[in-house]
Amino acid sequence: MTDYDKNLKKIFGYVSKFLGRDFGRKPNDNETKEIKELLLGKDEAEENKGKFIVISQRDSKWKNEMLGKSFYSVGDFGCLITCLAMLSAWYGDYKDPKWIARNLKFTPNGLFLWKSMDGKLPFNFKWRYYGRDDSKIQEILNSKDNACVLQVNDKKHWVELIGYDKGKGYKVVDPFYGDTVWLRERFKNITGFAEVTKA
């Protein structure tokens, strides 16, 4: 039996229940939510709430979206905002890269304006650092409310920092491929980073 058939059977089960034994009774909140999910699919924002998700800037759902009013697309230049989208899920209010591209601010050259996230994402901009400072990066990583994105490959790319191992170094999510990797295995350097803090 396909998922569609299973869902259809479940919907008919609810209809039978509401029109049979419990005629006239309204479904409770949990039943209403379940019926809505069966009919319309799960709400992505709700489903990802409080989770750390791994996504790619090249996903067909947003890769062709332009960064603000620029002519630069998420698929080609959206590594940073894809990192911010992943963080938004972890902080409990998921905004996908398309939403960020449409609602936050960018220069005509597609560069992100950091302070535009304040009040619109579940975290606020704290500071933009230039160069590599491992003690500061690890301090942010170990913080309860703060998170860090790393600029790598001679300022050409951004990745999401998710862990550290003394032997292997930093573990990151690469938004270009939508995968996790040890930083030193794919990227040659860290040229800067940015810190955000829970709103």
The model carries a pTM of: 0.77
Q: Following DSSP, what letter does each residue of the chain receive, concatenated? A: --HHHHHHHHHHHHHHHHHTTTTTPPP-HHHHHHHHHHHH---HHHHHTT------TT-TTTTT-BSTTSS-BHHHH-HHHHHHHHHHHHTT----HHHHHHHS-B-TT--B-GGGGTTTSSEEEEEEEES--HHHHHHHHT-SSEEEEEEETTTTEEEEEEEEETTTEEEEEETTTTEEEEHHHH-S-EEEEEEEEE-
**Which residue reads 């996504």 in tokens?**
55
The structural domains of the chain, with segments of one domain joined by +, span: 3-41, 46-198
pLDDT at 150 exceeding the cut of 90: yes
What are the φ and ψ backbone dihedral angles of 80, each rounded to 5 degrees? Answer: -65, -50
What integer pLDDT is reported at residue 23 of this predicted model?
Answer: 45
pLDDT digits (tens, 9 = 90+) for 101-140: 999 999 999 999 999 999 999 999 999 999 999 999 999 9
Mean pLDDT taken over the chain: 87
Class of domain 46-198: alpha beta
pLDDT digits (tens, 9 = 90+) for 12-52: 566 555 555 454 566 666 666 666 555 555 555 556 555 78
Residues 189/154, Cβ–Cβ less than 8 Å: yes
Select the more confidently predicted residue: 196 or 42: 196
User: Per-residue pLDDT averaged across 42-70, rounded?
Assistant: 83
